Amino acid sequence: MSMITRLHYFNCVVETGSISAASRAFDVQPSSISRQLAALEAELGIRLLNRTTRNIGLTEAGSTYYHYSQRIVADLDEANRAVNDLQQSPKGNLKINMTVGFGESCVLPLVPGFMKAYPDVNIELELTERVVDIVEDNVDIAIRSGRLSDSNLIATKLADNDFLLCATPQYLAEHSTPETPDDLSDFNCICYGYSGWRDWYLMGNKPRKLAIKEGLIVNSVNGQKQLVLNHAGLALMPGWAVRRQLNNGELVHVLAQHSFSPYERLSSTYALYLKRDLISPKIRVFLDYIKQHL
């Protein structure tokens, strides 16, 4: 007889108050449960139950053991459900809140493929720079960029932000190319207006805030992108927002030998969801799909 079966018998006897009630619950003979309880006590070398002709009670050791036995059986049941969930087809409503820039650049292009792969999942998408309360707003997944505050949420990294200094070939031809980071004070710099992202830092052992010419401020990553593509100046942008334009030559990576950031440390973009004993299949497959295809 397995140890886990003995734990099930032990828990049931404690909870029902009798061996006969436990035997009916498991549809076995009372003598079988008595033998397994005796074997459990013999293996532990201590009495767990005080037995009388009328009732059964826990010893001090039995009370301590029951506390852990409940947890072990519950964890095993949870593990069994987790395996069963893996075999189930993900379905239901999935509400995702994300930043506008990352959502439009990276997530939205992948949604049609995900829906084709998982047709039973209904997706509701919210694009906003507002930091939402996942519980209050009934959000399954929140995708945020930047520095994460301490919370009770699980954070899964989706991408490094890798801020790159960019401009069009036309702008550089008309205004020349900066040769050092300190030259940026002579060029129009398109800054992101969101709180904490407006400054430009030269990264290194000790990040240094740069003196830049703020020619334009816009509160949208895609707004920055449109301005820089239309030759308005230089912009410091996440690599995921401009990778295609860099590859096809619409944009040039300026001062590529240096590392920049809009604040004093490098950052990433994360998917956040509530801590649960089991992650919902619809959340799991969406995160797996996004990470695989980014």
Stretches where the chain sits below pLDDT 70 are 1, 85-87, 147-152, 195, 276-278
pLDDT at residue 131, rounded to an integer: 82
- For residue 203, give both structure tokens: 């990264």
CA-CA distance, 243 to 155, in Å (whole number)?
A: 24
pLDDT at residue 2, rounded to an integer: 85
pLDDT at residue 193, rounded to an integer: 83
pLDDT at residue 149, rounded to an integer: 65
pTM higher than 0.75 for the full model? no
pLDDT at residue 181, rounded to an integer: 97
* The dihedral sign for the CA sequence 247, 250, 256, 261: negative
* The dihedral sign for the CA sequence 233, 236, 241, 247: positive
Q: What is the pLDDT of residues 175-226, one digit of tens each?
A: 999 999 999 999 999 998 876 778 999 998 899 999 998 779 998 899 999 9
pLDDT at residue 196, rounded to an integer: 72
**What domains sit in the chain, N to C, each tagged with a CATH number?**
3-87 (1.10.10.10), 92-161+268-293 (3.40.190.10), 163-261 (3.40.190.10)
